[in-house]
Amino acid sequence: MRLVAIGALLVPALLLAQPAKDSCVECHSVMDGPIQKPALLIKNDIHTANGLSCADCHGGDRTSDDPSVAMSKAKGFVGKPKRAAIPQLCANCHGSADFMRRYQPRQRIDQFELYKTSVHGKRLAAGDENVATCIDCHSVHDIRGVKDALSPVHPLRLPETCGRCHSDAHKMAKYGIPTDQLEHYRTSVHWAALKKGDLSAPTCASCHGNHGAKPPEVESVAAVCGSCHVLFAQLYEKSVHQPIFSAASGGGGCIVCHSNHGIQDPTTAMLVGPKAVCANCHEPGTPGAKTAAQMAQWLDGLDAALKRSSAVLTEADEDGMEVSEAQVRLGDGNENLIKARLAMHTFQPEEMHKPIEAGMAIANETLRAGQTALHEKDVRRLGLAISGFFIAITVVAIWLAIRRLEANGSGYIEPVK
């Protein structure tokens, strides 16, 4: 009885210890042409690493060396799955909580459900096989974990992955959607932040969703941006612009001013000047344009004042004066500038003026501190002058002493004649 129990425990253990036979890989890896490729790619696949094999998707019997058995319908061989069937195929496992729990218990299982709501999913259901399915983004046969830096859906690679189709004018022609998103995105602050290593910076999927990918609707733009830019969204939602922008065509909310894919570092050039976005609606000379100009002037003024203070403090610091107190204070000044830029999104000059005023006060205060320090440096020269004065007096005194001492020729010893 006991022996049987031990044997029952040992058998699966032995089976696990030996690498499972995989005739698919064995045969296909020595073949030529496209039919070889999957067998070579599969070693990098996360599914392989978790003990799954070709047969788990393609069906068939991987233990048989006889092709007619291994790839027989009787063994459930399906060959290359139809494109339209791929999402369901993946979902067979990825949609099953029980199954996924064995491998990735924390992974979501609603990808297919989301996919069905996406533009991709809806079109696929309607028979359009050109749209993206699972394998177009995640790759196939060498599917990697999404956190793997080589995965095509890793944040640093995702824009290019989406762009493979969406930047292709030929592919997009029949959908009538633009193809310049990737080009614009590459110029944006978001991509810049991502490239610097901030993986929390948004890629395509952060705003459009991944499995449920679709363009955010007008009402949800502010919500999408606001998921990171919380305070801006809150102020904007209460602002006079919110209802107006929401009615705008071609997407509303934040993108009316900031655009969507090519979001640039915002400057006061957005408020005033030839590239001002405000001027798109507010004609020059109107109260709105004047307010925008006023806001720009405040922001630029505070920015310049803070930079000036910073320069004076740096100069004083490098000259060896103690200005650390003022330098800490200057940090508060910069904070007020940031807050003023935030408050701009109320579009209420009086809201914005509070941090501007506070910032200006700090800029002036730190400027004075820096100037005082620089002035103190000049005191050094005064000290030098005093000491130089004493030195001069002493030199003169010594000279006079020598004159008096040697008045009668004393001190000199004439050569012996």
Partner 1 sequence: MLASIASFLYPVLKFLNPPLITEAAVNEVVAGKVQDLKPNSGKIIKFGNKPALLVRVSDTEWKAFSAVCTHLNCTVQYRDSTEQIWCACHNGTYDLNGKVVSGPPPNPLTEYAVNVRGDEVIISRRA
Partner 2 sequence: MTAKAIQWLDDRLGLSAIRELMDHKTVPVHSATRWYYFGGITLFLFGIQMVTGILLLFYYRPTVAEGFDSVRFIMTRVEFGWLIRSIHSWSANLLIFVAFVHMFSVVLTHAYRPPRELTWASGIVLLGLMLGFGFSGYLLPWNQISYFATKVGTDVAAGTPGIGPSIARILRGGEDVGAPTLTRFFALHVMVLPLITVGLIAFHILLVQKNGMSTPPWIAASRVRHLKFFPNFLLREVMVWYGALAVLGVLAAIFPWELGEKADPFASAPKGIRPEWYFLAQFYTLKLIPSHVWIFEGELLGVAGFGVLAVGWALLPVWGVNRAGEARTRLVTGVAIVLIAYLAAFTLLGYIK
| Closest separation in Å from C-beta 365 to partner 2 | 21
Nearer to partner 1, 99 or 389 (CB): 389
Question: Rule CB under 8 A: is residue 374 a binding residue for partner 1?
Answer: no
List the x/- string, 325-344, binding to partner 1 by CB under 8 A: x-xx--xx-xx--xx--x--
| Closest separation in Å from C-beta 395 to partner 1 | 9
DSSP letters along 214-278, please?
-PPPHHHHHHHHHTTSHHHHHHHHTSTHHHHHHT-SS--TTHHHH-SSSPPPP-GGGTSSTT-SG
Nearer to partner 2, 178 or 388 (CB): 388
411 phi-psi bin (left φ>0, alpha ψ -120 to 50, beta other)? left
Nearer to partner 1, 18 or 200 (CB): 200
Distance CA 261, CA 40 (A): 37
| Closest separation in Å from C-beta 255 to partner 2 | 43
| Closest separation in Å from C-beta 406 to partner 1 | 19
Site for partner 1 in 275-294 (CB under 8 A): none
Query: Do 39 and 24 meet the contact criterion of CB atoms below 8 Å apart?
Result: yes
Distance CA 120, CA 133 (A): 7
Q: What's the sign of the alpha-carbon dihedral 232, 233, 234, 239?
A: positive
Site for partner 1 in 146-205 (CB under 8 A): 193, 196-198, 200-201
Determine whether 337 is exposed, middle or buried from the number of CB atoms within 10 Å of its CB (0-12, 13-18, 19+).
buried
Residue 302: how many CB atoms within 10 A of its CB? Answer: 24
Note the helical H segments in 95-180: 97-101, 111-117, 119-125, 134-138, 158-166, 169-172
Report the Cα–Cα distance between both ends of the chain, in Å, rounded.
138
How many residues touch partner 1 (CB under 8 A)? 31
Question: Rule CB under 8 A: is residue 125 a binding residue for partner 1?
Answer: no
Nearer to partner 1, 30 or 382 (CB): 382
Nearer to partner 1, 6 or 391 (CB): 391
Partner whose footprint covers residue 196, from partner 2, partner 1, none (CB < 5 to 8 Å by kind): partner 1
Residue whose token pair is 């030996």: 18
Distance CA 278, CA 291 (A): 10
Question: Rule CB under 8 A: is residue 228 a binding residue for partner 1?
Answer: yes
Question: Rule CB under 8 A: is residue 83 a binding residue for partner 1?
Answer: no
| Closest separation in Å from C-beta 318 to partner 2 | 8
Residues near partner 2 (CB under 8 A) are 317-322, 380-381, 383-384, 387-388, 391-392, 394-395, 398-399, 401-402, 405-406, 411-416
Query: Do 36 and 29 meet the contact criterion of CB atoms below 8 Å apart?
Result: yes
Residues that bind partner 1 (CB under 8 A): 193, 196-198, 200-201, 228-232, 322-325, 327-328, 331-332, 334-335, 338-339, 342, 386-387, 390-391, 393-394, 397
